[in-house]
C-alpha cells in the first residue's frame, strides 16, 4: 500500500506494532510452507505485467528491481515458498523499495475530529484525512462452544512431534484444519476432524476459498479408511479428563451422537480482523462480526473515510459470480487491490488526474483479449477486477485502468466496456465483457477455451461484433 | 450477527428452516455464507449470469423489474431461487433499501442443499405457491 501511495506522491505515515517487516509470515503458516505458489520458471519474464499470475506471493511494483522478490529467496524443491522465504522476500521489498514504517507503534484508539480521523497510538496521535487499516485477518477466533476455552487455537498449536502417538481431534475442516492434519499425519496415532458441514475443496469450489489440494492427503486417508476421520457434526461440549479431553458432538448430515476420548484438541476454527474500537464508530461487519463490510473500493460502507487494505479487503464481496469470491483474502489478490486503491485515493481524495491513454479503435479488441488472457489483475481477482475502456465523442477511446467490476456495473458514467475473467459453476474459465451504454450495463459472456487462449480468431470475431453492435466502435 | 448461537437462533426463527433440528441448523449456518449489504447496494442484477440464492436475515430489499419496483423483501424472504433453479439470469434487480443481512448459497450448491434438506425444499415450495397465488390475484 505504501509503495503505491509513494508512486502517487501521497504524503502518508505507516505504523506497525510489529518489530519489523514480514507481517503474519513472521509466525504463520504454523507448519512453515505456504499454500500459494511462486513458480520458479514461469512462462513470462518476471518484469512482465503478467508475471504476477505465476507468482502469488511477491508484492507488486512499478520498478523491475522490486519485482519477483520471493522466488529470489526460495531454495527450490517446491513452488510453495517456506514462511521464512516469504518473510525474507517482504524484508527485501521494504528495504529495496524504501518503505518507511514506524515499527513498534501500536494503534490503540480511533476518533473523529473536524472531518479528520485521529489515531491514538503507543507513540502519540496521528491525524489524517484518510486512514487505511492494513491489519490482516490473523487474530485467532473460536466459536461459542462449551469448554472451547480449554483447548488451544491453531495459532497456539505445538510442533508436530509433540503430537506423536496421540489421538488428536481438530475442530474445523477449512484450510488451517487440513494444514494441521496434514502436518500430523506422520505423528498422530489418530486424527479426527469435526465440523458441522463437509469440507469445501478448492478443486470443487474453483476458488481459493476451499481447502487447497496440497493439504488433501488427510482427506484421501479418510476416504481410504486409513485412520483419519472427517465427521460432519456440531460440537456441543469439550471437557477435560485425566488423560486428555472428552468431546461431545451431534451428527449433522448423518444423525447420531458422538463422544470422543482424545489426548489433544485443537480449535482450527478460523480468524478474525482485529478491529479495535472501530465498531464503536459504527463500522458495519459481517461473517459473524469478523470482517468489515466494504464498498467495491474498500471503504467502510458505514464509516466514510475508513479504508482497508490487505486481507480485510475480502469485506468487499463484489459480484461473487457463480459463487466464486474475490481472492482478496490472500496476498495474490489483495496486492492488486492496494495498487487500485492508491490510484482511487489519489483521484478522489487528492484531486490528482489519472493517465487515460488513448486507444485506436483497431487496437481495442486485441487489447481486451490480451488482458483477459494474461493480465494478472484479472486472473488473480476473477469477477472482481476489470480492465475498463471508455468511449466518448469528446475523448474518443480511453484506457481507464483497472477498476472493481461492482463499481463499474453499479455506477453511472460514460459509455464504456469492462473486461473480466470469470469461472462458471463447471469450472470453465472464460472472459466476460460488460458494456455500459446510455447508463445501462449489459453482460456478455465470451467462449471459454481449454488452453485458455482467448485471443483466437473466433474470440476476435465475437468481441468485434459485440462492440460494434453495442458501442458502434467500428 | 455476532455469534454462532445468535445466527442459529435466527435461522430457527425463520419459517424456511422451521423443521430442522439444531445440529442441522448448525450445518446450514456453516454451509451458507452470511453477507451484509449497505443501503442502496445492488445484490441481484437483472440479466447477469452466475447469481446465487439469498435468504434475508434482517433488513429490507426492493425488487425492481426494468427499473420499476415490484415488491419488497424482508426477514425470512428468499430471492434468486428462480434464476438458480432455471439456470437463467435473474429477471429483476434486488437492491438493499435498509442495511441487509443475508445468507448466501452459490447456485452450484443449491441442488445438493435442497436434496439434503427436503423439508426446506417443501417450505420453499409453499412460499413459491403463495407468490403464484398473489400474482394471480393481481391479474
B62-65 long-range contacts (CB < 8 A, ≥24 apart) are B62/B94, B62/B95, B62/B97, B63/B92, B63/B93, B63/B94, B64/B92, B64/B93, B64/B94, B64/B95, B65/B91, B65/B92, B65/B93
- The share of chain A scoring above pLDDT 90, in percent, equals 90
> Cα separation of A293 and A274, whole Å?
14
Of the listed ranges A66-70, A134-138, A427-431, B135-139, the one predicted with least confidence = B135-139
Measured in whole angstroms, how far is the alpha carbon of residue A89 from the centre of its chain? 18
Using the predicted structure, report yes or no on whether residue B1 has a pLDDT greater than 60.
no
- The share of chain B scoring above pLDDT 90, in percent, equals 84
Burial bucket for residue A89 (CB in 10 Å: 0-12, 13-18, 19+): buried
Q: Which helix (H) or strand (E) is A217 found in, with range?
A: helix A217-223
Contact B49 A321 (CB under 8 A): yes
Query: Which of the four pLDDT bands, split at 50, 70 and 90, describes residue B2?
Result: low
Q: Is A461 on the interface with B (CB under 8 A)?
A: no
Do strands A228-240 and A245-251 pair parallel, antiparallel, or not at all (unpaired)? Answer: antiparallel
Q: What is the model's pLDDT at position A76?
A: 84
Query: Taking residues A134-161, what's their average pLDDT?
Result: 94
Residues 6+ apart with CB under 8 A from A22: A87, A90, A91
Residue ranges of chain B whose CB lies within 8 Å of a chain A CB: 1-5, 7, 22-24, 26-27, 29-31, 33-38, 41-42, 45, 47-52, 89, 99, 101, 104-109, 116
What chain A holds in terms of domains, given with CATH numbers, is 2-137+272-348 (3.50.50.60), 142-269 (3.50.50.60), 361-471 (no CATH)
Answer yes or no: are the C-beta atoms of A71 and A38 closer than 8 Å.
yes
Using the predicted structure, report yes or no on whether residue B23 has a pLDDT greater than 80.
yes
The grid coordinates of residue A309 equal 487494505
Query: Taking residues A76-105, what's their average pLDDT?
Result: 95
Q: What is the model's pLDDT at position A382?
A: 96
Q: Is A213 on the interface with B (CB under 8 A)?
A: no
Write the pLDDT tens digit of every residue in A1-30: 999 999 999 999 999 999 999 888 988 888
Q: From the CA of A199, how many Å to the nearest CA of chain B?
A: 10
Write the pLDDT tens digit of every residue in A240-294: 999 999 999 999 988 899 999 999 999 999 999 999 999 999 999 999 899 999 9
Question: Which of A251, A253, A424 has its CB closest to that of B116?
Answer: A253
How much is the pTM? 0.95
In a mutational test of the A interface, the residue from B25, B85, B106 whose CB has the highest number of chain A CBs within 10 Å is B106
The grid coordinates of residue A404 equal 472493481
Helix axes B118-138, B107-116, angle to 10 degrees: 110
Q: What is the model's pLDDT at position A450?
A: 94
Measured in whole angstroms, how far is the alpha carbon of residue A296 from the centre of its chain? 14
Where do the DSSP E strands lie in A367-470?
Answer: 385-392, 396-404, 416-423, 429-437, 440-445
Contact B31 A197 (CB under 8 A): yes
Q: From the CA of B133, how many Å to the nearest CA of chain A?
A: 31
* A76-105 residues touching B, CB cutoff 8 A: none
Query: Taking residues B46-67, what's their average pLDDT?
Result: 95
Measured in whole angstroms, how far is the alpha carbon of residue A297 from the centre of its chain? 14
Write the pLDDT tens digit of every residue in A380-410: 999 999 999 999 988 999 999 999 999 999 9
Helix axes A457-471, A361-374, angle to 10 degrees: 120
* Neighbour count for residue A104 (Cβ, 10 Å): 13
ipTM: 0.92
Contact A319 B34 (CB under 8 A): no
Q: From the CA of B30, how many Å to the nearest CA of chain A?
A: 6
At the topology level, CATH places domain B4-138 in Jelly Rolls (2.60.120)
Contacts of A234 in chain B (CB under 8 A): 22-23, 26-27
Give one DSSP letter per residue of A48-71, joined into a string.
SGGGGGGBSSSPP-SSGGGSSHHH
In a mutational test of the B interface, the residue from A146, A250, A252 whose CB has the highest number of chain B CBs within 10 Å is A252
Question: If DSSP codes are grouped into helix, strand and coil, which group holds residue A120?
Answer: strand
In a mutational test of the A interface, the residue from B5, B8, B31, B49 whose CB has the highest number of chain A CBs within 10 Å is B49
Contact A144 B106 (CB under 8 A): no
Using the predicted structure, report yes or no on whether residue A88 has a pLDDT greater than 90.
yes
In a mutational test of the A interface, the residue from B6, B7, B17, B30 whose CB has the highest number of chain A CBs within 10 Å is B30
Distances (CA, A) of A126 to A130, A276, A278, B79, B121: 11, 16, 16, 45, 54
Using the predicted structure, report yes or no on whether residue B139 has a pLDDT greater than 70.
no
Query: Which of the four pLDDT bands, split at 50, 70 and 90, describes residue B118?
Result: very high
Residue A227: DSSP 8-state: S
Residue B118 has φ and ψ, to the nearest 5°, of -60, -25
Q: From the CA of B107, how many Å to the nearest CA of chain A?
A: 6
Residue A423 has φ and ψ, to the nearest 5°, of -130, 125
Q: What is the model's pLDDT at position A28?
A: 87
Q: What is the model's pLDDT at position A115?
A: 87
Write the pLDDT tens digit of every residue in A321-374: 999 999 999 999 999 999 999 999 999 999 999 999 999 999 999 999 999 999
Answer yes or no: are the C-beta atoms of A340 and A385 closer than 8 Å.
yes
Cis peptide bond upstream of B30, omega within 30: no
Contact A234 B116 (CB under 8 A): no
Residue B136 has φ and ψ, to the nearest 5°, of -70, -35
Amino acid at each position: 500500500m505504501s509503495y503505491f501511495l509513494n508512486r502517487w506522491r501521497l504524503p502518508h505515515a505507516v505504523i506497525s506494532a510489529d518489530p519489523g517487516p514480514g507481517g503474519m509470515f513472521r509466525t504463520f503458516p504454523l507448519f512453515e510452507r505456504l499454500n500459494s505458489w511462486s513458480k520458479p520458471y514461469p512462462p513470462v519474464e518476471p518484469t512482465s505485467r503478467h508475471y504476477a499470475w505465476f507468482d502469488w506471493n511477491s508484492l507488486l511494483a512499478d520498478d523491475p528491481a522490486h519485482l519477483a522478490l520471493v522466488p529470489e529467496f526460495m531454495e527450490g524443491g517446491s513452488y510453495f515458498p517456506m514462511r521464512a522465504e516469504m518473510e525474507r522476500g517482504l524484508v527485501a521489498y521494504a528495504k529495496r523499495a524504501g518503505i518507511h514504517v514506524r515499527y513498534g507503534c501500536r494503534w490503540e484508539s480511533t476518533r473523529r475530529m473536524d472531518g479528520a480521523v485521529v489515531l491514538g497510538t503507543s507513540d502519540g496521535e496521528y491525524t489524517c484525512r484518510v486512514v487505511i487499516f492494513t491489519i490482516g485477518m490473523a487474530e485467532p477466533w473460536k466459536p461459542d462452544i462449551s469448554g472451547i476455552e480449554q483447548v488451544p487455537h491453531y495459532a497456539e498449536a505445538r510442533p508436530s512431534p509433540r503430537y506423536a502417538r496421540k489421538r488428536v481431534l481438530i475442530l474445523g475442516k477449512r484450510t488451517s484444519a487440513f494444514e494441521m492434519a496434514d502436518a500430523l499425519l506422520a505423528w498422530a496415532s489418530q486424527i479426527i476432524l469435526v465440523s458441522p458441514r463437509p469440507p469445501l475443496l478448492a478443486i470443487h469450489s474453483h476458488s481459493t476459498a476451499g481447502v487447497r489440494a496440497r493439504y488433501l492427503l488427510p482427506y484421501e486417508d479418510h476416504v481410504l479408511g486409513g485412520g483419519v476421520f472427517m465427521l460432519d457434526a456440531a460440537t456441543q461440549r469439550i471437557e477435560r479428563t485425566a488423560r486428555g479431553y472428552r468431546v461431545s458432538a451431534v451428527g449433522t448430515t448423518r444423525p447420531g451422537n458422538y463422544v470422543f476420548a482424545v489426548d489433544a484438541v485443537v480449535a482450527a476454527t478460523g480468524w478474525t480482523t482485529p478491529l479495535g474500537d472501530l465498531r464503536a464508530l459504527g463500522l458495519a461487519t459481517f461473517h459473524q462480526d469478523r470482517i468489515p463490510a466494504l464498498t467495491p473500493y474498500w471503504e467502510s460502507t458505514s464509516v466514510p473515510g475508513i479504508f482497508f487494505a490487505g486481507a480485510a479487503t475480502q469485506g468487499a464481496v463484489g459480484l461473487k459470480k457463480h459463487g466464486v469470491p474475490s481472492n482478496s483474502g490472500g496476498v495474490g489478490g489483495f496486492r492488486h487491490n492496494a495498487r487500485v486503491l492508491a490510484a482511487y485515493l489519489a483521484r478522489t481524495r487528492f484531486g490528482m488526474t489519472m493517465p487515460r491513454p488513448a486507444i485506436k479503435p483497431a487496437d481495442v479488441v486485441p487489447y481486451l483479449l490480451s488482458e483477459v488472457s494474461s493480465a494478472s489483475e484479472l486472473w488473480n481477482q476473477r469477477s472482481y477486477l476489470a480492465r475498463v475502456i471508455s468511449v466518448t465523442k469528446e475523448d474518443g477511446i480511453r484506457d481507464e485502468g483497472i477498476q472493481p467490476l461492482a463499481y463499474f456495473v453499479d455506477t453511472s458514467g460514460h459509455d464504456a466496456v469492462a473486461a473480466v475473467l470469470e469461472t462458471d459453476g463447471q469450472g470453465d474459465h472464460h472472459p466476460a465483457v460488460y458494456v455500459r451504454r446510455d447508463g445501462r450495463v449489459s453482460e456478455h459472456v465470451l467462449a471459454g477455451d481449454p488452453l485458455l487462449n482467448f485471443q483466437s480468431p473466433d474470440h476476435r470475431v465475437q468481441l468485434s461484433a459485440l462492440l460494434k453492435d453495442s458501442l458502434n466502435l467500428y | 450477527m455476532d455469534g454462532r448461537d445468535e445466527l442459529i437462533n435466527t435461522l430457527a426463527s425463520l419459517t424456511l428452516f422451521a423443521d430442522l433440528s439444531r445440529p442441522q441448523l448448525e450445518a446450514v449456518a456453516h454451509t451458507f455464507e452470511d453477507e451484509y449489504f449497505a443501503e442502496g447496494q445492488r445484490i441481484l442484477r437483472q440479466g447477469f449470469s452466475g447469481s446465487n440464492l439469498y435468504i434475508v436475515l434482517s433488513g429490507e430489499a426492493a425488487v425492481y423489474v426494468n427499473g420499476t419496483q415490484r415488491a419488497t423483501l424482508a426477514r425470512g424472504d428468499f430471492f434468486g431461487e428462480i434464476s438458480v433453479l432455471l439456470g437463467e439470469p435473474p429477471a429483476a434487480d434486488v437492491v438493499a433499501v435498509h442495511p441487509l443481512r443475508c445468507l448466501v448459497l452459490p447456485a452450484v450448491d443449491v441442488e445438493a442443499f435442497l436434496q439434503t434438506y427436503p423439508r426446506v425444499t417443501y417450505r420453499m415450495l409453499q412460499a413459491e405457491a403463495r407468490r403464484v397465488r398473489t400474482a394471480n390475484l393481481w391479474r
